[in-house]
Chain A
Amino acid sequence: MVDEKNIKEDLDFWATNSEESGWNISSTDEGSQKMLEEEDEKQIKIQTGSDVVDDYVYNEETTEDERMIVNMGPQHPSTHGVLRLQVELEGEVVRRVKPVIGYLHTGMEKTGEELAYFQGPTNTTRMDYLSPLFNELVFSLTTEKLLNIEVPERAKAIRILMTELNRVSSHLVALATGGMDIGALSMMIFGFRERELILNFFEKTTGLRMNHNYIRPGGVAADLPDNWQKDVKEILKVIPEKLNDYDEMLLDNPIWQGRLKNVGILTTEECLAYGITGPSLRASGFSWDLRKTQPYSGIENYEFDVPLLTDSDVFSRWRIKVLEIIESLKIVEQVMNTIPKGPYRIQDKKVTPPPRKRLDESMEALIHHFKIYTEGFKVPPGEAYVAVESPRGELGCYIVSDGSSKPYRMHIRGPSFCNLQALPVIMADSPIADAVAAIASLDPVIGDVDR
């Protein structure tokens, strides 16, 4: 005979995961992260997104019992990772939003203080996992600035080639997931299919599809593989064709336009106040691209345009990503045609380990190899900030060195972290269905937010 009482107790135990019987109320207590029914005026202003531009319209007719605070996430497919939003709804309209982050926090800045400079890219590459090469690039550029060294021309060209291809793959994921959130499931399949082409090329070059650790202080880890031009030519041929397909499918599609146009407005004023850069700023009609204004790694030698749209809604934030892919492919084509010959990493024995073959022949090489891999190279004391234009905006790295072989303080300014502050602005005062489209348009990567 089954003892019903015991089964119930067992179930309660597993449901609450605690030794006390019954539901443990305190385990759902949010503490200070909880969105309250009543908050002070300043908080309400931030949460309704009317902090900078007061465009929130209060609906006087809504009664108290129509209001409801619900949780969206952290496990929610359309929040792109473990992002959690506390949303106050009035019927179907979002009134207040409070993002809660930190679910993916792994202390990478602390880890960065314990890794030597040549190990640094392994750590930073895992932050923004959709554009890993940019993280490596910004860390390497900052270290090189502290070391006051200049990498060879070929290394610079390879860096630009790889990062621009990475921008294409990252934007393709943004288009794919953006389509998925709105219900255009074929867009998701298409986006991931085309990204595969680029990931295959990355795999061939770096050995990995993600978290490459390819761009390192002093150059890149390896030269491009044999016949790499063939793969790049394939990418340059296929992706523009597929972009035309997307345009045919979506650009004049009345459902797509109806869902995206005039939704999630983020004006230039709000962008500047919240420090939002990248495609979101450019889609609001403000031309600011670090590749043009504060160029890095020799990108000023290539010709490309900065696409600019003025509608500042979700549609233009989607459209600008398509246009940026085309511009990035232009850069890739130019790099392919003009890439200089020469070494792919700096010929400074203190920074670059000697080639494997030399270890059997030369005592010097063995000593350098040993010193670099046990102790790491020493970086003169000082501090440096370098920023690059990642697919999501300004990605900055701030390193303080105390003269040892490990950074004293390593800080990454993640664009997604900053862009998330705009969620109340674009979500408030619009239906919950539009809110999902709006989150997708900001393209947050939680690895970059929580670090």
Chain B
Amino acid sequence: MSYETINVDINQYYETVENFKKEGYEMMVDLTAVDWYRKKEPRFQVVVNLLSVSKNLRVILNVNVPDESLKIPSICEIYPGANFFEREVFDMFGIEFENHPELTRILMPDDWTGNPLRKDYGSGRIPVQFKNAPKVD
């Protein structure tokens, strides 16, 4: 199944998604991000996957997030299903979604530091330590 990929400027992002919803893209299927660490500028790209079940079309929006602010508007108002996905991206990449109803970590523990899916975050770097576990010397 082929789909269309569109690059969207961050200033038009919210309006573009709104227009797609009006055009009959009823479902937001997927929202994720890619970290282009030292490969591309700006560093983060948010990828939104919209699906029209009435017209059987799929469109993928690529949005570049500015490095200075790392902020992007939340689309929870348009698609309530974006809630968990945006929290996941916030958790894993540290991108902030403005006007999100509850922007907290979703998969990692609340007191975790760092954003695991960033490219400068090595896996296996941090020994897993549970809260209040007896200390081992």
Q: Are A and B co-members of a single complex?
A: yes
B-binding residues in A (CB < 8 A): 16-19, 24, 27, 30-33, 40, 42-43, 46, 51-52, 101-102, 105, 107, 109-111, 114, 272-277, 286, 288, 293-296, 383, 385-387, 394, 396, 398, 400, 402, 408-409, 411, 413, 417-418, 420-421, 450-451
Cβ–Cβ contact A400 & B53, under 8 A: no
Q: How far is the CA of A16 from the CA of B116 in the complex (A)?
A: 29
In the complex, what's the smallest C-beta–C-beta distance from A419 to chain B, in angstroms? 10
Q: Nearest 9 pairs between A and B by C-beta?
A: A275-B81, A31-B110, A294-B1, A32-B104, A102-B107, A274-B81, A413-B30, A105-B107, A18-B132
Cβ–Cβ contact B49 & A385, under 8 A: yes
Cβ–Cβ contact B132 & A275, under 8 A: no
Cβ–Cβ contact A107 & B116, under 8 A: yes
Cβ–Cβ contact B132 & A16, under 8 A: yes
A105, A409, A418: which contacts B84 (Cβ < 8 A)? A418
- Name 19 A/B residue pairs within 8 A (Cβ), A-sorted: A16-B132, A17-B134, A30-B110, A31-B111, A32-B105, A52-B80, A105-B108, A107-B116, A107-B123, A110-B123, A272-B26, A275-B28, A276-B81, A386-B1, A402-B39, A409-B34, A409-B35, A413-B30, A418-B29
A19, A31, A110, A418: which contacts B81 (Cβ < 8 A)? A418
Across the interface, which residues of B come within 8 angstroms of A51, CB to CB? 80
In the complex, what's the smallest C-beta–C-beta distance from A53 to chain B, in angstroms? 11
The residue of chain B having its C-beta at the shortest distance from the C-beta of A409 within the complex is B34
B83, B92, B133: which contacts A46 (Cβ < 8 A)? B83
Cβ–Cβ contact A110 & B116, under 8 A: yes
A-binding residues in B (CB < 8 A): 1, 3, 5, 26-30, 32, 34-35, 39, 47, 49, 51, 53, 56, 58, 60, 79-81, 83-85, 88, 92, 101-102, 104-111, 116-117, 123, 131-135
B32, B106, B111, B134: which contacts A19 (Cβ < 8 A)? B134
Chain A at the B interface: SS class? mixed
Cβ–Cβ contact A385 & B3, under 8 A: yes
With A42-B101, A294-B1, A294-B56 known as contacts, the answer to whether A398 contacts B80 (CB < 8 A) is: no
In the complex, what's the smallest C-beta–C-beta distance from A33 to chain B, in angstroms? 6
With A33-B110, A394-B29 known as contacts, the answer to whether A43 contacts B102 (CB < 8 A) is: yes
Q: How far is the CA of A143 from the CA of B124 in the complex (A)?
A: 26
Q: How far is the CA of A33 from the CA of B102 in the complex (A)?
A: 10
Across the interface, which residues of A come within 8 angstroms of B81, CB to CB? 273-276, 418, 421
Across the interface, which residues of A come within 8 angstroms of B30, CB to CB? 385, 396, 398, 411, 413
Q: A17-B134, A398-B49 are in contact. List 6 more A-B contacts (CB 8 A).
A: A18-B134, A40-B101, A273-B81, A387-B1, A400-B34, A450-B107
